[in-house]
Structure 1
């Protein structure tokens, strides 16, 4: 093979530098979570999950197993899917997963779940990016599990995957924090518009200097406004928060609560298909839970609203009559689709592989 001309040596040097450089890794996300009161320091957060490019679309059952969700119904509820949807149905992409969040030391992480059992050939980076689609970094997993060498993990080892989350108030109001991986082509303005928040809020929550610093693959804390409710402060589910685009099953699955599309009030109904002998009746006099009636004023609507459930002496579902001014309900909830139509993130390693192949192809013309 003829020696490379001296004029091309700088090109070769640059190529070798690129080849030796490590692939850029996603930045570790740390969501502020300063709540300290016993109940305020725990909450239910939402996580966005999309399988990495090149992998088959999983079923709902597969996603449930990956995140160790306790029920199929909970996965359906988080995504606003009908309760009749079977576990074998393909999972929408991306999918919302509701997980418990715990605040500790000023930051939040999902509590105990999900976990992952190491298989032959696994590295922490492969688990972080190839299994959990960049929701965490290998550094996050290593720190949470006291792993000194990310490239050496034992087959069968059980790893806790600490997905970032938060329980903090935003602007003095309770919200549902949404852990969101930025897709290719995503912008702060488009994310704010899609999820009904503001650019300023996203920048502040994520400690970003400006909108231009947003990166594809970055993990963002996106606050979803939750509906207000008439739930009693003494009820077991008094901290129930439901954002638009999803619902929650509560009161031992006897009550289904969603966020109204016309007001910011919790809209709860008795869950259809459950035995009436198991679920106690929820009524306000002659009105059943969720029933509404018009009052003498055309701007007022009276409803039998869900007020929580108790189980101190016996299981009981509480309900109260509430009156809503429908003429001054304020801004209606911005639609928050459970499944974004944005482009999925292309893995960084693929782009670097293409760069190396192109460079080798180009150099072959000069040797």
Structure 2
């Protein structure tokens, strides 16, 4: 009897293994830092943008739209089908060598909730129940109370990668994924992904594992004296800055930050931003292969609110005089159906054990 019971207990143990811990390292100078980071959230059921905003306690709806390259006029009721993946922008706080979302989101425990189900089913396996337990100083995970509010420490980082500033993106591995495919999808180097996540064997990648994926950020003309001097924008996203007066987007066509006055914001609120006779974000061409642009250079807010600008000249042709591809904007919701093949394999094995038990 004991011999037959052992594999059954083993299978039960495997079926209830916690979500993978996502220990994103952050060794910023001084031991602490703040930055903007991203996590990839895959909806388990049909939902909409408003509900996702509430779940992650995103303070500005525009922030959710910006992280996904969606137009500013997109309504909160826009559907998000099950299996769709959204990028969630969060404020990252790094301390003692690790990064976690700064004090948010908070989750109120409902009837039937357990910390493991909250980690897996509510927050898509981006964290483990052990991380929730540690962050909330919960001595016994089985003794949580309905209505209790807990902090969900989503993984993030502010570290440079290979000496370059990046936007860190928490990506949950899906069935059939490989390190090389993930690297290609997000424009990262396979070796960089392996080193950053402490993976020695690319074949050891597992479904549900949370990877720290460094997204290349566009370069900019923002000066060190600007309030938003550390602004980083990754490909396919945009950010509202300068008190929402300026919209800056990033495209892999140029890898240069493209900033314009935000449409729909009252001109009485936002100061005029120009470079002489050229408005912010506009360009003029002296030749067919050369363009001068009025770029965003930051803003000041100490005594007067001013938007800073600078003029830059860009070549529009290669050495042979052939026009270079121009930037394109936008980022669509990705449908990323997450397979439960590992669970099914374990379920089949469990069924076989039970059938053997009953024979």
Distance 1:331 1:226 in 2: 19
CA RMSD of aligned residues (A): 2.6
**Map of 2:53 onto structure 1:** 64
SS in 2 for 1:29: coil
Q: Aligned to 1:344, which of 305, 313, 338?
A: 338
**Map of 1:112 onto structure 2:** 103
* Contact kept? 1:165, 1:177, Cα under 8 Å: yes
Q: Aligned to 2:263, which of 261, 268, 272?
A: 272
**Map of 1:208 onto structure 2:** 199
**Map of 1:175 onto structure 2:** 166
- Structure 1 window deviating more from structure 2 (350-359 vs 198-207): it is 350-359
**Map of 1:151 onto structure 2:** 142
SS in 2 for 1:21: helix
**Map of 1:75 onto structure 2:** 64
* Structure 1: gaps of 5 or more residues: 1-8
**Map of 1:25 onto structure 2:** 18
Question: Counterparts in 2 of 1:213-292, with a 5 A limit?
Answer: 213-292=204-283
SS in 1 for 2:132: helix
Provide Cα deviations, 1:126-176, integer angstroms capped at 9, x if missing partner. Answer: 111111110000000001111111122122221111111100001111000
Distance 1:284 1:31 in 2: 41
**Map of 2:42 onto structure 1:** 50
- Structure 1 window deviating more from structure 2 (283-292 vs 298-307): it is 298-307
Distance 1:274 1:257 in 2: 14
Distance 1:137 1:252 in 2: 36
How far residue 341 of structure 1 moved from its aligned partner, in angstroms, is 4.0
Q: Aligned to 1:324, which of 314, 318, 333?
A: 314
Larger Cα-atom Rg: 1
* Contact kept? 2:171, 2:212, Cα under 8 Å: yes
Distance 1:130 1:351 in 2: 20
Distance 2:136 2:193 in 1: 30
Provide Cα deviations, 1:155-204, integer angstroms capped at 9, x if missing partner. Answer: 22211111111000011110000011111111111110010011101000
SS in 1 for 2:334: coil
How far residue 120 of structure 1 moved from its aligned partner, in angstroms, is 2.1
TM-score (norm 2): 0.90
- Structure 1 window deviating more from structure 2 (348-357 vs 242-251): it is 348-357
TM-score (norm 1): 0.88
Distance 1:159 1:214 in 2: 30
* Contact kept? 1:176, 1:224, Cα under 8 Å: yes
**Map of 1:141 onto structure 2:** 132
Distance 2:258 2:280 in 1: 10
- Structure 1 window deviating more from structure 2 (344-353 vs 202-211): it is 344-353
How far residue 349 of structure 1 moved from its aligned partner, in angstroms, is 5.4
How far residue 250 of structure 1 moved from its aligned partner, in angstroms, is 0.8
Distance 1:333 1:292 in 2: 14
More strand by share: 2
How far residue 281 of structure 1 moved from its aligned partner, in angstroms, is 1.2
**Map of 1:129 onto structure 2:** 120
Distance 1:107 1:78 in 2: 23
SS in 1 for 2:35: strand
- Structure 1 window deviating more from structure 2 (104-113 vs 341-350): it is 341-350
Distance 1:336 1:271 in 2: 16
* Contact kept? 2:70, 2:330, Cα under 8 Å: no
Distance 1:276 1:223 in 2: 36
* Structure 2: gaps of 5 or more residues: none
SS in 1 for 2:104: coil
Distance 1:43 1:19 in 2: 42
* Contact kept? 1:196, 1:334, Cα under 8 Å: no
Q: How many pairs align?
A: 352
Distance 1:360 1:76 in 2: 49
